[in-house]
């Protein structure tokens, strides 16, 4: 199981395979999120969080919104 320490605590993904898909919510709508090398500016500005599409665990690494 993947574990990553953060100020909020430990995030765990219980899916097999881990992190099989990511999403975030903007204005009550789910948006596709993708892992990135560094956090997207809009993500930090809006204080968004990404979650595993399978188990709902908060994704602890950098990510950004998928292109439409």
Quick one: tokens of 59?
């994704």
Residues in the chain: 68
Give pLDDT, residue 6: 46
Do the beta carbons of residue 11 and residue 43 sit within 8 Å? no
Low pLDDT (below 50) residues in the chain: 1-7
Do the beta carbons of residue 48 and residue 24 sit within 8 Å? yes
Give pLDDT, residue 5: 44
Give pLDDT, residue 41: 83
Give pLDDT, residue 67: 79
Give pLDDT, residue 8: 55
């Amino acid at each position: 199981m993947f574990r990553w320490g953060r100020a909020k605590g430990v995030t765990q993904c219980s899916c097999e395979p881990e992190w099989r898909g990511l999403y975030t919510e903007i204005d009550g709508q789910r948006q596709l999120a993708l892992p990135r090398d560094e956090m997207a500016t809009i993500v930090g500005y809006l204080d968004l969080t990404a979650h595993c599409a399978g188990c709902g665990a908060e994704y602890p690494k950098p990510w950004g919104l998928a292109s439409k």
